[in-house]
Amino acid sequence: MSMNPVKRLVGRLFLWFWLTTLITAASAFWLSRVWNDSVEVSTPSQKQADALLSVTQALASAEAQSTSLKKALMRVERRIPFQVIAVDSSGELVLKHSRRTMRPAFLHRLLNVQSQSSPIVLRQRGRMFLGPVTVTYENNQYALFLTDREPPPAPFEVLGWLIGTGIIMSMLLSYWFARSLVKPIQHIQQASQKLAAGDWEARTDEKMHRQDELGDLARNFNKMADQLQTMWQSQERLLADISHELRSPLTRLQMAVGLAVQKLGQQAHLQRIEKEAEQMETLIGHLLTINRATFTTEAFAHYRLCDLIFPITEDGEFEARQLEKVLTVEAIPDKTVWVNKPLFTAALENVLRNAIRYANAQIKVSVLSDATAYSIEVDDDGPGLDDSDLEEIFKPFYRAESARDRASGGVGLGLAIAKAAMSTHHGQIYAKPSDLGGLQITLNFSAKPKNETDKTNR
């Protein structure tokens, strides 16, 4: 495990919070500077015009007393709340020893408006410039400006900048960071849902190179899925191997029963042994069918839907007539589908025989189709099931207390075979109460499964 804190989730959360704070502060400072760099131009107020007039009059009086310009500026500034700046015709400043310094940007703006014919007011970064006024002093022409630092922005104004910028920047950065966290979690969630639904191939490949806790979670999930798939396949193969091994002694048992019948005739205990042997043969056959549906390597192909369904319903009609029941088959769409024929047949046969077995008098088969999918609905007018049994009946060996028992002739594997076949087709099978009064079982197929290419190449 990497010890670099930046690669761990805790380190990334701390770093992201710190960067968000830093970027927010820098952005607020930069925006405030951009805002304060804007220049406002306006006309002087009456008070400002009077201040300019008093400065020109004071300088005229000082010139009459033969006072130097610098001393005159110093005297004038003591009587007004402004700093007086004089710029000669060559662009040089005439300043007293002021406690303030003149920034180059401010000086550049003064020189740009030096030839202005009438006074104006410039404001930038909280500082005000008033002027120019042209005066002649000791036979030299000067442009006079008044300037003063205005009060700093109110605290709530600065706070508003910080809060507004902080909210916007933190929202953008937090959303970006949240997406980087949520996206891999969503992939893991989707993979877990597929795994829970029985898709043993479900894996997450999202950001497998990540070295944080999410990367560890994704890798651990894949390891868990690998182990579950191995355990499931081992269990299924073990069940298949046992089923194959049981067939040999079962065949010998049936042969022995046949010889005993030939010698002793039909005996009640021999008939009982023969019946149980046939029951075991049926059970083993169903187990092998489920195994073939789960681990099939047979190719999928294109078939006409009517060619698949008609032979099955034809056999079903024959079986229904023997039991004095009626099987009705509605019109089958002329549609070409992509299926594994043996598994498709096994699924529909088991569902149809289940309906024939439990129906009172009527069974109906309907086929619904559109451009993306098709479904086969099998209804009967039998006793139906409780809502709690509608999902359980597709589990192997499950028998509902109300109707499914061994006396009915079933072993609880027919619908489990249908479910396994539907899983191979990436379809769905579910049961619900029928309009006929019994049970309706629906087989949902995609018109073209997503893994068609893979199955073609098997």
pLDDT value at residue 36? 55
What is the number of alpha carbons within 13 Å of residue 155 lying toward its C-beta? 0
Cβ distance 282 to 411 under 8 Å?
A: yes
Find where tokens 């999410």 sit: 214
Under CATH, what is the fold of the domain 40-149? Beta-Lactamase (3.30.450)
Q: Give 298-456's CATH code, choosing from 3.30.70.1230, 3.20.20.10, 3.30.565.10, 1.10.10.10.
A: 3.30.565.10
Beta bridge partners of 440: 379, 432
Q: Where are the domains of the chain?
A: 40-149, 298-456
Find where tokens 């078939």 sit: 303
Cβ distance 321 to 359 under 8 Å?
A: no
CA distances from 400 to 19, 376, 395, 412 (A): 62, 23, 11, 9
pLDDT value at residue 153? 53
Q: What are phi and psi of 140, to 5 degrees?
A: -120, 140
pTM over 0.85: no
pLDDT value at residue 249? 73
DSSP symbol at 121: E
Q: Is the dihedral of CA 190, 195, 198, 199 positive or negative?
A: positive
What is the number of alpha carbons within 13 Å of residue 162 lying toward its C-beta? 8
The C-alpha atoms of residue 92 and residue 203 are separated, in whole angstroms, by 78
- Greatest CA span in the chain, whole angstroms? 158
The terminus-to-terminus CA distance of the chain in angstroms comes to 40
Same fold, 40-149 and 298-456: no
The C-alpha atoms of residue 290 and residue 458 are separated, in whole angstroms, by 20
10 Å CB burial of residue 334 (0-12, 13-18, 19+) is exposed
Sequential DSSP letters for 55-66: HHHHHHHHHHTT
Other residues' Cβ atoms within 10 Å of the Cβ of residue 157: 11
Sequential DSSP letters for 160-203: HHHHHHHHHHHHHHHHHHHHHHHHHHHHHHHHHHHHHTT-TT--
Residue closest to 110 by CA, chosen among 95, 91, 126? 91
Residue 20 identity: T
pLDDT tens sequence for the chain (458 residues): 445 555 566 666 666 676 777 777 677 666 666 655 566 778 888 888 888 888 888 888 888 887 888 888 888 877 777 778 888 777 677 654 444 455 566 666 667 777 777 888 877 666 677 778 888 888 888 888 887 755 555 555 556 666 776 677 777 777 777 777 777 788 888 888 888 776 777 888 755 567 777 777 888 888 888 888 888 777 767 766 666 666 667 677 777 777 777 777 777 777 777 776 776 776 666 666 666 665 555 578 899 999 999 999 999 999 999 999 999 999 999 889 988 888 898 899 989 998 998 999 999 999 999 888 999 999 999 988 888 888 888 887 776 665 444 445 555 678 888 888 888 888 899 999 999 999 999 999 987 655 544 444 43
pLDDT value at residue 50? 83
